[in-house]
A and B are shown apart, each in its own frame.
Chain A
Amino acid sequence: MTNHDERIEGLGRFSEPALYILISLAEGPKHGYAMTQDIAAVSGQALGPGTLYGAIARLEARKWIEALPAEERRRPYKITAVGKRVLHARLESLRTVARVGQVRLAGR
């Protein structure tokens, strides 16, 4: 697949789960169950498996993550160099939004 927009926002309703998955994998390779546990601990969001694998499939299609050899029933995933770049860009964008919001709140 080519010409994918390198922005997480382009994933529509899967943008937020995809962001959480990339953040989780930025720490190191994880399988699906470990991702759901990590995401719940970090964000408080309980991702269902339908949503999780919908997002994983999209991230794999864009080559932002890749699967590693399966360990028993579980297949770990790792973030790719492109995935790190996309995540970095998104986090920078969120940082800007947060900064503007805080400045505006403080200005009231």
Chain B
Amino acid sequence: MRLRAATMIRLYPRAWRARYGEEFLAILGDDDLTVQQLIDVVSGAIDARLSSDVQHAVGVGATQGGSTMLQSLLAGEKNSMRATKRDGLIGAAVMIGTSLLFSVLGGAAKRGGWLPPTMVESLLAMAFPAALTLSMPFWLMKGQPWKAQAMIVGGTLAMLLAIGWLRSAR
């Protein structure tokens, strides 16, 4: 796979890269990443953007007692995302709207018998994580390079799709 650590590290927040970037690259070296490493690096990037613990360690957006994503979203607190309260509300609307859409589609497919029951079950189970992922560019990843946004959102949706497919194939 022609992806190298120096490319993938762009998925991580700037403050994280400033704190751990050099060490991280020293571990991975200049070789192409394996699939296993790629999954680990993408998961780590998502965690670095979502975890208040990690943000605290790198000195970004630390709040007493830890902040939840929802608190960050509504407060529009200082963070690498540079999101305003309005962005937060748009993100919340996208998340709720998409989640409802998936649920309605799942319910309709169940009643209409368009899809196998296991696939409908998977669709309903994936509704919220998929909606959360789709809402991220509007608030959590606002201001980040579009390539990083596309890779995180696309990668997460691909993983959700794979998990859903595996669940329904069982």
Contact = CB atoms under 8 A, between A and B. Distances in A.
Interface residues of A, number: 24
Indicate the size class of the contact surface on chain B: 20 to 34
Contacts of B65: 1-3
Given A1-B62, A1-B66, A50 B42 contact: yes
Nearest to B58: A57
Interface string A30-50: 011100100000000000111
A51 B57 contact: no
A14 to B, nearest CB: 9
Contact of A58 (B26, B43, B53): B53
Interface SS majority for chain B: helix
Contacts of A75: 22-23
Given A1-B66, A2-B64, A54-B44, A49 B57 contact: no
Contact of B56 (A48, A50, A56, A61): A61
Contacts of B28: 49
Interface SS majority for chain A: helix
Contacts of B44: 48-51, 53-54
A18 B37 CA distance: 19
B24 A57 contact: no
A54 B54 contact: yes
Contacts of A58: 51, 53-54, 57
Interface string B19-63: 010111111100000001101111111011001011011100010
B150 to A, nearest CB: 19
B77 to A, nearest CB: 15
Contacts of A52: 27
Interface centre among B37, B40, B45, B48 (most CB of A within 10 A): B40
B40 A49 contact: yes
A48 B37 contact: yes
A49 B24 contact: yes
A94 to B, nearest CB: 23
Given A1-B66, A51-B43, A58-B51, 13 more contacts: A1-B65, A3-B65, A31-B23, A33-B27, A48-B44, A50-B47, A51-B40, A54-B44, A54-B48, A57-B51, A57-B53, A58-B57, A73-B26
Interface of B: 5, 20, 22-28, 36-37, 39-45, 47-48, 51, 53-54, 56-58, 62, 64-66
